[in-house]
Amino acid sequence: MKKLLIAVIVLATFAGCKKGENDPFLSFRSRDARVVGEWKVSSYAYDEASVNGNNTTTVKVAYDGSNYSSTNSNANPPIDKGTYAIMFEMLKDGTLKYTQTRTEGNSSSTTVQEGNWAWMDSRKNKSIINLSVSGDQINNNYIQGGTYVVDQLKNKEIVLTQAFSNSFESSGAAGTKISFKSNSTLTLTQ
């Protein structure tokens, strides 16, 4: 009976470790310890739709861990493709290093940028994270930084989601409707 009581107390203590809906039931590593490390971007998806009066622009980005493609309905050319290796290194002190290597034929070029990562909600929850990288530009093939909801935080895999929506109507005779909506999912693996 005593062993059963101890087991129930231990399980009740660790049941609070699960913060995200898809987090593991039990982890012996803190949320900070699970985030810190070198991470390969294994997938990224970004969808955007913006309306300004009668003009609609759509942007779609897909990355599968090596192949990147971006489609922008208002760009010329509308499609950008490439082969990339993208890494995030998150350090214990809150600094972030973003490394992107693009390969074309026999040549490759590497871009390294620095920034910060930080939890945006209470120290207890730690379910919203901000990734700030100088030079975040979706049109220049950078994975977009910003504030993400931590959908899954495992020792070897992190899944982050981001959704943004804004809509308003401008004043004046024309009364132009302006709206913006985007969704993204970023998966990091070790």
Boundaries of every domain in the chain:
2-189
Is residue 129 within 8 A of residue 116, CB to CB? The reply is no
At residue 125, the pLDDT reads 79
- Tens-digit pLDDT profile for residues 18-46: 455 655 555 556 778 889 999 999 999 99
| Full-model pTM | 0.77
The more confidently predicted of residues 92 and 168 is 92
CA separation (Å) from 57 to 46, 65, 150?
Answer: 14, 26, 28
pLDDT tens, residue by residue, 137-155: 544 546 777 899 999 898 8
Give the C-alpha distances (Å, rounded to integers) separating 135 from 68, 111, 146.
18, 11, 12
The rounded distance, in Å, linking the Cα atoms of 94 and 122 is: 16
Helix, strand or coil, per DSSP, at residue 125? coil
